[in-house]
């Protein structure tokens, strides 16, 4: 399994250009910082604790979501497309390990990216905006904020895994996975008209808005029920993906 994870990492780094994404994120950070610095220096709206970190994390997190969905999609559907999947499946590695390593490395990269972003935001915040103000309390708050982002990542990466195994097509997987990502809010809003809407997983995905922000009424009684509900979906996606990956012919 170690070897498999190492393989996936090498492919992600060289083939799917993580470093390019890191550069892009860095540029976004600088732009965000410059924008905040201008507002800050005008003086009318001074930037308080977390007022740089929170919007920064919430907005840049979108790119991490999109990018990691692309990562897992190319690692599965892309490898069916270019003929490398079949060569891997001929090797004496249990199929479930191969699939699991692809999902796992994407999850690790996604989690790492979220925390790297959080740390970068915190550092900028400390150096330029709210230096000195209860730094440790802020670290704690920022990391909780980062954790709030994880359920949605798990959900979309698992959904993309299932769709990639099912369709074996990169384009189709991305279309199907991004559809709820972009239209989830609208669908959720429409569903709100019905009292079963809280059984729609899309209404749960923004855990931060639902339970820590000023969203209108959380779908479940507490956050753990929501997280569990999202988790059950992810597990079902992965189980289905496993069964299809295990038993479907590769022609």
Residues within the interface to another protein (CB under 8 A): 3-4, 6-7, 10-11, 14-15, 82-94, 247, 249-251
**Least distance between another protein and beta carbon 211 (Å):** 42
- Alpha carbons within 13 angstroms on the beta-carbon side of residue 21 total 24
CA distances from 190 to 155, 180, 197, 246 (A): 21, 13, 9, 38
**Least distance between another protein and beta carbon 204 (Å):** 38
**Least distance between another protein and beta carbon 81 (Å):** 11
Token pair in block for residue 102: 């692809």
Q: Which is nearer to another protein, 96 or 133 (CB)?
A: 96
Q: Which is nearer to another protein, 6 or 134 (CB)?
A: 6
Q: Which is nearer to another protein, 26 or 86 (CB)?
A: 86
Q: Which is nearer to another protein, 15 or 231 (CB)?
A: 15
Nearest to 154, CA basis, from 223, 104, 100, 203? 104
**Least distance between another protein and beta carbon 199 (Å):** 37
Q: Which residue has the tokens 């497309």?
A: 81
**Least distance between another protein and beta carbon 98 (Å):** 8
CA-CA-CA-CA dihedral for 5, 7, 12, 13, to nearest 10: 110
Q: Which is nearer to another protein, 59 or 88 (CB)?
A: 88
- The answer for 91, left when phi > 0, alpha when psi is -120 to 50, beta otherwise, is beta
């Amino acid at each position: 399994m170690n070897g498999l994870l190492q393989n996936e990492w090498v492919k992600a780094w060289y083939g799917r250009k993580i470093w390019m994404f890191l550069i892009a994120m860095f540029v976004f950070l600088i732009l965000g910082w410059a924008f905040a610095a201008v507002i800050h220096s005008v003086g009318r709206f001074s930037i308080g604790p977390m007022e740089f970190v929170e919007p920064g994390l919430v907005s840049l997190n979108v790119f991490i979501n999109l990018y990691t969905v692309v990562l897992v999609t190319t690692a599965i559907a892309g490898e069916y497309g270019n003929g490398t999947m079949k060569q891997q499946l001929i090797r004496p590695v249990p199929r479930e390990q191969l699939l699991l390593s692809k999902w796992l490395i994407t999850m690790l990269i996604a989690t790492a990216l979220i925390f790297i972003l959080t740390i970068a935001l915190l550092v900028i915040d400390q150096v330029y905006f709210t230096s000195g103000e209860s730094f440790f309390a802020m670290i704690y708050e920022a990391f909780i904020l980062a954790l709030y982002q994880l359920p949605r990542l798990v959900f979309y990466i698992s959904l993309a895994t299932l769709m990639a195994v099912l369709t074996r097509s990169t384009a189709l997987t991305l279309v199907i996975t991004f559809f709820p990502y972009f239209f989830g809010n609208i669908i959720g809003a429409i569903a709100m008209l019905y009292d079963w809407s809280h059984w729609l997983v899309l209404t749960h995905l923004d855990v931060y808005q639902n339970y820590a922000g000023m969203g209108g009424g959380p779908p479940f009684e507490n956050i753990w029920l929501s997280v569990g509900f999202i988790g059950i979906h992810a597990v079902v996606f992965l189980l289905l993906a496993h069964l299809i990956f295990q038993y479907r012919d590769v022609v």
